[in-house]
A = this chain, B = another copy of it.
């Protein structure tokens, strides 16, 4: 807490560089983006990058850390309103799609790199993927116990099917579908209706 002014300035500088990095990496991909390009976007010299990040890979890890924090907030949000399923569905989907919107470029960076970088994939799995699905599965098991879901439901499958429409829409946007990109709010409303139709009959 008792951070010196120096530390706060340093922290701001680090965030500034990280934002610039996400920007430029989202445009060209991590591998094709050079440290020089990140430095130019951030308005600093090449070497300065290395005062704030150990190496180029460390920048990627920092972007993941940022997403991990966002996902942790998301999970807290979900847990805080598990009481009423109808409202939960509506609020949760809207909230999540808003999160996707706000972290869009970071998501793009991490996701595309996760596909092709096994070590990074492992980190994303451990830090984001697994915890999220574990909690969701527990929630689905509770719904089964309450009789809200058929007893023979496979929670692992059910939870992934539950997540799939939102992930699919995100994928369309990541691929650059202009209609999804331009009408994200309309898709949010449609997605809520779509999900209600499935889970609230």
Contacts and interface: CB of A to CB of B under 8 A. Distances in A.
Instruction: Assign chain A's interface to a size class.
Output: 35 or more
Given A29-B116, A190-B157, A166 B164 contact: yes
A174 B115 contact: yes
Interface of A: 26-32, 108, 111-118, 121, 124-125, 129, 154, 156-158, 160-161, 163-172, 174-177, 179-180, 183, 186-187, 190-191, 194, 197-198, 201
A57 to B, nearest CB: 12
Contacts of A26: 116
Contact of A164 (B32, B124, B165): B165
Given A157-B187, A175-B124, A116 B164 contact: no
Given A115-B108, A198-B197, A160 B172 contact: yes
